[in-house]
Amino acid sequence: MNRDLPEVEGVPVHAWLAGPLSTDVARSIERLARAPDVRRVAVMPDVHRAGEVCVGVALATGGLVYPAAVGGDIGCGMTAARFDVPAADLTSDPRLGATVLARLARAVPSMKGAPGTVPDTLPPGVEPEGLSDGRLAHAARREGRWQLGSLGRGNHFLELQADQDGALWIMIHSGSRGMGQAISAWHLARSAAPAPGALPALDAGSEAGRAYLADVAWARAWARCNRARMRAAAAAILADLLGAALDEATVIDCDHNHVALERHGGLELVVHRKGALPAADGQAGLVPGSMGTASFHTVGRGHPDSLASSSHGAGRVLARGEAAGRIDARRLVREMHGVVFDARRAARMVDEAPSAYRDIRAVMRAQRDLTAVVREVRPLVSHKGS
């Protein structure tokens, strides 16, 4: 439900909340609304503090670009697809899930592509020459090439899931890895605060602004390519073990960290999303829960006050350090009951426990006028990097 927050110097702030805002989040949103050239702010129900700009926020400007309102993992997002075998084929043998998980850990590593899979050159659409500076292109030839096909750490995951009809699905959450961080740092160093105390910004119409927008588009394309390679690697494993084929017609891919020129209310605006999923009318999306909980396939409703956006997930309620201090490995194992995961690494994954996140169902209820649920999926096998 839309719960408008007080306007900040004439800037409307629309919010869909699953609970009360903490003081630090409210202050961060107010500061963002006061930033020069900000026209509108939309707050998603998974909002939480992360750096200078909260995760779970969409904002529009008239012409300025704020790299901090996109973040470093440019193009971070989700992909999903259905297999042509029932989920029962995976769960019928208790040993099979562990075998699949072990194979996934080798084929989809966390830090760099699996041995023998690193390409000699980056594929079409993400050639290094597409970047705005030679030093970024050099990074693409190294990190960008070596990390292609890798999952990353933190909240990134690959899950095999069952829908409510018993079909088997894959869902992957990953982004632009080191390249997004490099692009963000490069352009932040060339940004300037448009007013005292403001976040660094670029003029979208300037040479520097156009270069950043082009590099964001490159990072989004790299992230899509990365997710596709991991999806293919997982599909090869299931083809070998289950005789399963991935139905390409069911593939969904979306991202939630980006900036783009969009039209809203008859105006061309610079729309930033940091942990906010595009949800234009009829647009397919994926909203994951936390590790071990339900996720949702969605279709956007195009709500104008949200800048046609929705939440990108459940959203943290405990910061990583706080979660590590309050949740132990035994609790994580209990919370993951019924899901195959690498329990040997539980002590290193406690900050990703379901109890460190909001209830995904409360988040979905809070944004019923932003997005509609198409299907619910539950995890069977959860692979995470650490």
Measured between alpha carbons, how far is 168 from 165 in angstroms, rounded to an integer? 9
User: Could you give the CA distance from residue 374 to residue 368 in angstroms, rounded to a whole number?
Assistant: 12
SS3 13: strand
Half-sphere exposure of 94 (CA within 13 A, CB side): 1
Q: Cβ atoms within 10 A of the Cβ of 115, count?
A: 9
Residue 39 and residue 62 in contact, taking contact as beta carbons nearer than 8 Å:
yes
Single out the catalytic residue among 187, 258, 303, 312. 312
Question: In Å, how far are 25, 118, 131, 269, 354 from 128, measured between CA atoms?
Answer: 38, 15, 6, 29, 38
Q: Is residue 312 flagged as an active site residue?
A: yes
Residues 150/109, Cβ–Cβ less than 8 Å: yes
- Contact present, 270 and 60 (Cβ < 8 Å): yes
**Whole-number Å distance between alpha carbons of 381 and 87:** 11
Which residues are the active-site residues?
Answer: 312
